[in-house]
Amino acid sequence: VDPTGSNDNNGTSPVSPFKNITYGLLSVITNSTNPGTIHLADGTYSPSTNDNYFPLGGKQYVSIVGTSKEGTILNGDSLSSIFYFEDNEDITISDLTVTKGYESNNGGAGIYVKNTNLFLDSITVSYNVADENRYGSGIRVDDDSEINIQNSIISHNYGAQGGGVYIDDTNYNNNIIKN
């Protein structure tokens, strides 16, 4: 996927990338024995600059991999959350920035995770806002989710509680945050 690509492309190689991340998610076929990866070229993916749609939903056994944490930017334009994962197995996000998400219902303006296993590596989650009385503006983890965060920066997020990360107290899984 490339912000200068075209959704008329087949999205199977860097020379014919999709423009929208949603097209990549819809086209990848995955299962537990055949996981898939969506590669994102450097650039800004947002509703205002190239019609990207947020929030991005989860698809089991998918990795969303940017080219670089500094150069691959998912910008919600303060209109909606960036990622919303519910009832998914084994999702990985790496090497990108999640910024300017906005959430007024659940929290998790950057990333919302419910009953999902999520691995985050080398990402930045910044400048996301959860509306008043909402929790976890950067990342919210709910209901039997497991999240592993490493080599990442979570900063400058604003919410009522857990501005950076909010893990629901009914969640008894092994959540790991390191480096």
Q: Provide the pLDDT for residue 167.
A: 83
Q: What is the pTM of this model?
A: 0.93
Q: Provide the pLDDT for residue 75.
A: 98
Neighbours of 117 (CB within 10 A): 18
3-state helix vs strand vs coil in the chain, percent to 5:
5, 45, 50
Q: Provide the pLDDT for residue 170.
A: 58
Q: Provide the pLDDT for residue 178.
A: 65
Indicate the length of the chain as a whole number. 179
Per the CB < 8 A criterion, the answer to whether 59 and 90 are in contact is no
Q: Chunk the chain into consecutive blocks of 10 residues (it has 179) and report each block's average pLDDT, rounded to whole numbers.
A: 95 94 93 94 96 91 96 97 93 97 90 93 96 87 88 92 79 64
Q: How far apart are CA 9 and CA 24, in angstroms?
A: 11
Q: Provide the pLDDT for residue 135.
A: 83
Enumerate the β-bridge partners of residue 117.
146
Per the CB < 8 A criterion, the answer to whether 81 and 112 are in contact is yes
Q: Provide the pLDDT for residue 163.
A: 85
Nearest to 101 by CA among 22, 166, 159: 159
